[in-house]
Chains A and B, each alone.
Chain A
Amino acid sequence: VSADSRRFVGTAWLVAQWSLSELLWAPRTLAMIAIAAAPLGLALLYRIAAAFRIGEASSGYAAFSAIVAGASLPFVAPMISLFYASGVVSDDVEAGTMPYFVTRPSTRASFLAGKMLASYLMTALLLLVSLTAAFYVAVAPAGWDEIGARFGSLVRDLWVAALGVLAYNGVFALTGTVLRRPLLTGLFFIFGWQAVATFVPGAIRYLTVAHYLHSLMPHRALGGGIARLVGDRSSALVSVAALLAIAAATHVLAVRVFQRKELR
């Protein structure tokens, strides 16, 4: 490992730690916690409905499946990622602190890498905590055996969520690096492009992150119906490879753009 690489990693890690501290106590984190808590809230609502026998009876795992497939992965994950990752550049530009960072003895690449790592860790932690808590609220009352039986699904949800957030982090970090107003574009990507393209027959759905997440999800509450309408899911191997490729390409591109970007 060359000295340059060690310096790059060391600087990026320092920036990530500092940025993580900033993000943890930033006012927007309260709003993000509220969004991340939505699946947990839905699981609690399910429990209350089940206790009072409101609505159609279903198992706790069925409720958890619906929450993950209908809320956590399609909306909560990209929303949190959008609000953190799109600000990797614009936050410091708007605060006027960017010139100080890029004039310090650190490369632009290591600075942005650290910022993107911090935004990824923040998003992933919020989402994974929310998924774990929702799982136990929904499934645990059915007993220890049921937890054991559904454990495989929880593990798969966690790594699929972590992988999906990595792809979203790259997409939104790139958007935040290229565009001056990345939030609007990001919201269009989530609620416009992905929401429509996933349902449209043909190859267009391959240009979304959501398609590969649906393909990897153990739950088929939404994916099954959609798959029947627009065609097969992608295989697990293709989906993992596609998400990793999206993540790698967007993160690298974001760094490249940032290195050439004129910052004011």
Chain B
Amino acid sequence: MMKSSRWALLLAVGTVGAGVVAGAIARFSATGLAGRKGAALEWAPASTSLVGHLDVRALSKSPLAETWSEAVKGQGVTTAEEIREATGIDLWKDVDAITVSITERTEDDNRNRWGLSVDGAFDAEAAAKKLVTARKDVAVEDYQGAKIYRLSAASRDSADVAMAVVGPSTALFGEPSYLREMLDVASGRKPSASGVVESWGFGGFAEDSFWVAGKPSKALRAVVGRGAEIPSLQAFALSGRLASEVSLRLRGKAADAASAQKLADLVRGFVALGRLQMGPTASNPELGTIAESVQVELAADRIDISLTVPYETIRKLSERRPKEAAGPAER
């Protein structure tokens, strides 16, 4: 073979190889499932107004897991239990990561539109079979090459729920029409929420164990809105890392720089109040400890609040809540 032919072939093979290697690095450079921001948003439609991601594996390995299980004991996390009963998937044991996306109700569409994508170490096909066997009211339909299992609403107050198996250990749950939209996103027929989250001005969730980003709901806007002469919040992102302590970061995008300044002043006011709680004689010393770690940064119309919370503080706060709830009855 001529030297020039070899170079031409090497160039072609090198181009494909470089593309694959670069893609592999991009895929695996992020740490943990929560780091796969793009993958987390793989199913979320662009119509979403709130999207959140939880690295369940990171949570289960952290001291927070024990505190969490104690806190929810007896309270019943209805959706998680319903999913376990219907499919055999234990959200806290079999699942690596959960991404939830919600589209706010509009005046034209009064439905709750939501969807979950669940990745983990479970057999999604087996879960679907269990669902069909366990529930007689499951309607199965094909959509975009995937099977959608639709469960009728249990009562008049609840809505239909659907499930789709989209990978060996990936399942989608959600409101049926929203689930179809999620499949459209995965097939490339509709844009994902990736660009939307970027348009809100957020990203950099690579190291976070959990995060949620969105536009404030109507309820929140009523509190943090123009009407109350408090700066309007256009979008927000809350993210957290589970390391030796819990690091939280709350970012907000205000309507303008002046609004952001007012919002920052408001937060600083709350922080000052919290710091008054410091000391052993204070009624709520844990809040004082948290307030001490709060840092508020302001850049144009952006506000960035970061704080750290020791696991011990979270445990104390969660223990105190049931006591406070039981207090009046004891008296």
Contacts and interface: CB of A to CB of B under 8 A. Distances in A.
A154 B28 CA distance: 15
B188 interface: yes
Given A133-B15, A148-B23, A224-B187, A21 B36 contact: no
B243 interface: no
Which among B27, B36, B195 has the greatest number of chain A C-beta atoms within 10 A?
B27
B144 interface: yes
B27 A152 contact: yes
Nearest to B39: A149
Contact of A62 (B16, B36, B142, B189): B189
Contacts of B29: 144, 148
Contact of B1 (A21, A62, A132, A145): A21
A57 interface: yes
Given A21-B1, A158-B20, A145 B26 contact: yes
B285 interface: no
B188 A62 contact: yes
Contact of A223 (B12, B37, B42, B145): B145
Which among A57, A59, A133 has the greatest number of chain B C-beta atoms within 10 A?
A59
A149 B16 CA distance: 18
A145 B145 contact: no
Contacts of A47: none
Contact of A145 (B4, B15, B36, B191): B36
Nearest to A67: B188
Interface stretch (A85-93, A227-235, A256-264): A227-235
Interface string B206-228: 10000000000000000000000
Contacts of A145: 26, 30, 36-38, 194, 203, 206
A64 B180 CA distance: 21
A129 B13 CA distance: 8
A151 B1 contact: no
Interface string B1-29: 11011001100110110011011101111
A149 B36 contact: yes
A125 interface: yes
Contacts of B1: 17-18, 20-21
Given A136-B19, A147-B22, A221-B188, A233 B145 contact: yes
A228 B142 contact: yes
A135 B5 contact: no
Contacts of B5: 20-21, 24-25
Interface in B182-209: 187-192, 194-195, 198, 203, 206
Interface in B26-53: 26-30, 36-39, 41-42, 46
A interface, over-half SS: helix
A143 B203 contact: yes
Contacts of B38: 142-143, 145-150
Contacts of B195: 59, 142
Interface string A205-238: 0000000000000011101100110001100000
Contacts, number: 130
Contacts of A219: 187-188
A132 B191 contact: no
Given A132-B15, A143-B203, A148 B187 contact: no
A59 B194 contact: yes
Contacts of B9: 20, 24, 125
- Chain B: interface residue count, which band? 35 or more
A224 B189 contact: yes
Contacts of A64: 188
Contacts of B15: 129, 132-133
Nearest to B192: A59
Contacts of A126: 12
A66 interface: yes
A61 B192 contact: yes
Nearest to B195: A59
Nearest to B194: A146
A129 B194 CA distance: 27
Which among B15, B142, B187 has the greatest number of chain A C-beta atoms within 10 A?
B187
Which among B1, B4, B203 has the greatest number of chain A C-beta atoms within 10 A?
B1
A75 B2 CA distance: 31
Nearest to B26: A148
A148 B36 contact: yes
Interface string A5-43: 000000000000110110011000000000000000000
Given A155-B20, A233-B145, A221 B189 contact: yes
A65 B192 CA distance: 13
Given A65-B189, A129-B12, A129-B15, 15 more contacts: A17-B1, A20-B9, A57-B191, A58-B190, A62-B190, A65-B187, A143-B38, A145-B26, A146-B194, A147-B27, A149-B37, A149-B42, A151-B24, A155-B23, A220-B188
18 contacts: A20-B5, A25-B5, A57-B191, A59-B188, A125-B13, A128-B16, A129-B15, A132-B20, A142-B194, A148-B27, A148-B28, A149-B39, A151-B24, A155-B20, A158-B16, A158-B20, A224-B187, A228-B142
- Which 8 A-B pairs give the minimum distances between C-beta atoms? A149-B38, A65-B188, A148-B26, A132-B19, A220-B187, A151-B23, A145-B38, A59-B191
Interface of B: 1-2, 4-5, 8-9, 12-13, 15-16, 19-20, 22-24, 26-30, 36-39, 41-42, 46, 142-145, 187-192, 194-195, 198, 203, 206
